Amino acid sequence: MTLWWSFWWRMVVVAVVFMVFLTNPGRSQPQTNVLIQSCSTVNASSTANFFSNLNETFSDARRQLSNNNTYFAISNQTRNSDPVYVLAQCRNYMSTSDCLGCFDYAASSIRACGAANGARSVLDGCFLRYESNSFNGDTTLPGNQGLCGNRTSSQQSSFQTVVDELLSNISIATPKMNGFYAAVTAPVISTNTSTAYAIAQCVETVTADGCRSCMQVAYANIRSCAADVIDGRAVDSGCFMRYSGTPFFRNNQTTEIASFLLDESSSNKGAIIGGVVGGVGGLIILLVVLLLWYRRSKRTTPGGSLYGATELQGPKDYSYSDLKKATKDFREENKLGEGGFGDVYKGTVKDGNIIAVKKLAIGTAKDNFESEVRVISNVHHRNLIRLLGCCTKGPELLLVLEYMANGSLEKYLYGEKRGSLNWKQRFDIIFGTARGLAYLHEQYHVTIIHRDIKPSNILLDNEFQPKIADFGLARLLPEDQTHISTRFAGTLGYTAPEYAIHGQLSEKVDTYSFGIVVLEIISGKKCTDIPNESAGEQYLLEHAWNLYETRMHLKLVDETLDPTKYKEEDIKKVIEIALMCTQSPVSVRPTMSEVVMLLSDRSRVQNPPSRQNVNLSEIRVEGNNSTSTTKSVSNADVTVTELTGR
């Protein structure tokens, strides 16, 4: 106990660094879904020592996992100034080769933490963590959490009942099993009989008691998911739990747990269920959790209060009065911008950190708000703005976000900084934005469709790397408000026609908007600029297609770009990729991970975009409409009837 505790105390970790690897086989190997990844920001003192230790422990762990039926490995290398302790674990349903594949994926993505002296990566199929101190006793730590998957509107109550019972059963059995692992299935009998799948696993370095207390917390975190989510997970330092209505292991890979339930099934199960809802056990767990939270908050390191550490973290709860003070009572001069979901203010908190505070202008149910905020706050990617926390206790809902000093791309494309970005910077922005979107669509455990990609939602950090803002917020809208036939979130001109007109929502809606933004980045022109038709001008998209058809697409390039600083071939290729993204139907539009691949690949575009795949008249309707409203009509204010009525 004292050991790991003192370890957290000494940890001076302030920010989370994150990176995604382009080669993510996300779709084909869902076991490499990254659930959580974080890095310490304290760097090793000697990187040479550190990397040699890290490499040795990683290859030692990998060697251990390459033995048949080995799912767990620890290793340490402590001979010099920068010791490294590693723990790796695969879920026991993984084959040896899948386990190694997952380990390699986790190891390469954790490399993005550079010389950080601690990091962890939790994937569906495996778990990898290293620290500069031994952490083998860690069981349940503050920041443990349930990660509910996609919400489905009509979850059958029979599914919830079965899942709840399955999870309760495995949380009792797992601490008693050899290897601390259980996998079970159970039929869900209803109109359509289906099967529920669940696993639970503890790291092998904890005691049975440690495993049991971790299971209790995990069970409490995950069971609420089952009400309306088909796929849920709970992640903690010492254990992992997952259920799903779709198979993620084979039917013949279950473990026999009945014999572990017999003796205590009545008493212990009562303790767990009671422990969660109330009762003495529950009180004790609650007290322990509260105590840990309390102690941790007291131990927050200077400057560290805002950011995640390598420990798992949920969103921070801010007090309304602190945020009010930080933003000088939401004074006009502190206003950074007006977004679709509310105004954003700059704030300086007590420890001197600068934050951005978004005052949500949408009504939303509070419990829905809190679970969605949890989902968004777990998104860590270097091309996505971090949600640091929220405040639900004041007169309005507030979100606290990472602050970006350079402001939005809009300013650099056609605002006061127009013409100041060179081609390399523009390409980096295009590439980073594509990666951020690919992460939201395919690599995060919940598919997040942004629905409002436009330059004002792409913020730039000090190195002009892009970070996408406002993702996930559309999820906060009550379901009936986002529903197709009534309203849509999006901005005319950037909105895919099938979404604007028919309300058909898919990830490809973001692909479309991305294509339009790329055309703007290349041309320095706004997609909604009204053409002077008598002078032969056209809307940006139409213009781009016309130039492309006559093989003159380089004419699109912003004249402020220095032609000696880019290769014509490169720009041509990016224009073609952008046009591919604006095609319809959605099946011919690439996914964002395909876009990332195309952008990073040196090869040529295989299926060049085709004019046949774009209905410009449909899009023009949209463009014209936007001129009659205002420059950026956004979110939930525009109804489809207004659009089609034109």
Ligand X SMILES: *[C@@H]1O[C@H](CO)[C@@H](O)[C@H](O)[C@H]1NC(C)=O
Residues that bind ligand X (CB under 6 A): 41-43, 51-52, 55, 67-68, 74, 76, 114-115, 134, 136, 149-150, 162, 165-166, 169, 186, 191-192, 231, 250, 252, 258, 261, 265, 445, 447
Q: How far is the CB of 34 from ligand X (least distance, A)?
A: 12
| Residue (114 or 531) nearer to ligand X, CB | 114
| Residue (191 or 617) nearer to ligand X, CB | 191
| Residue (67 or 560) nearer to ligand X, CB | 67
Whole-angstrom Cα Rg for the chain: 26
Q: Does residue 536 contact residue 611 with C-beta atoms inside 8 Å?
A: no
Active site residue: 452, 470, 510, 558, which one?
452
304: which residues sit within 8 A by CB, 6+ positions away? Answer: 12, 13, 14
Q: How far is the CB of 68 from ligand X (least distance, A)?
A: 4
| Residue (65 or 74) nearer to ligand X, CB | 74
* Cα distance from N-terminal residue to C-terminal residue, the chain: 68
Q: How far is the CB of 156 from ligand X (least distance, A)?
A: 7
| 3-state class (DSSP) for residue 73 | strand
Q: How far is the CB of 357 from ligand X (least distance, A)?
A: 25
| Residue (138 or 622) nearer to ligand X, CB | 138
At position 296, the amino acid (one-letter code) is: R
* 180 token code pair: 């601390």
At position 16, the amino acid (one-letter code) is: V
Q: Does residue 11 contact residue 118 with C-beta atoms inside 8 Å?
A: yes
- Dihedrals φ, ψ of 50, to 5°? -60, -50
Inter-helix orientation angle 47-65/96-110, to 10°: 170
- Dihedrals φ, ψ of 99, to 5°? -60, -45
| Residue (149 or 238) nearer to ligand X, CB | 149
Q: How many CB atoms lie within 10 A of CB 95?
A: 10
Helix (H) or strand (E) holding 37: strand 34-39
Residue 323 burial (10 A CB sphere; 0-12, 13-18, 19+): buried
| Residue (115 or 288) nearer to ligand X, CB | 115
| Residue (198 or 571) nearer to ligand X, CB | 198
| Residue (456 or 513) nearer to ligand X, CB | 513
Q: What is the dihedral of CA 104, 110, 112, 117, to 10 degrees?
A: -140
CA 388 to CA 376: how far, in whole Å? 10
Question: Is 637 tagged catalytic?
Answer: no
CA 598 to CA 609: how far, in whole Å? 13
373: which residues sit within 8 A by CB, 6+ positions away? Answer: 315, 387, 390, 399
Per-position DSSP letters for 325-370, written without gaps between them: HHTTTT-GGGEEEEETTEEEEEEE-TTS-EEEEEE--S---HHHHH
Whether the CA torsion 352, 463, 116, 471 is positive or negative: it is positive
Q: Does residue 354 contact residue 369 with C-beta atoms inside 8 Å?
A: no
* Residue showing tokens 């390191």: 301
Q: How far is the CB of 138 from ligand X (least distance, A)?
A: 12
DSSP assigned state of 606: S
Helix (H) or strand (E) holding 406: none
Q: How far is the CB of 633 from ligand X (least distance, A)?
A: 25
Q: How far is the CB of 586 from ligand X (least distance, A)?
A: 12
Q: How far is the CB of 350 from ligand X (least distance, A)?
A: 21
* 540 token code pair: 């940006």
Q: Nearest-CA neighbor of 160 among 194, 129, 133?
A: 194
Residue numbers annotated as active site = 452
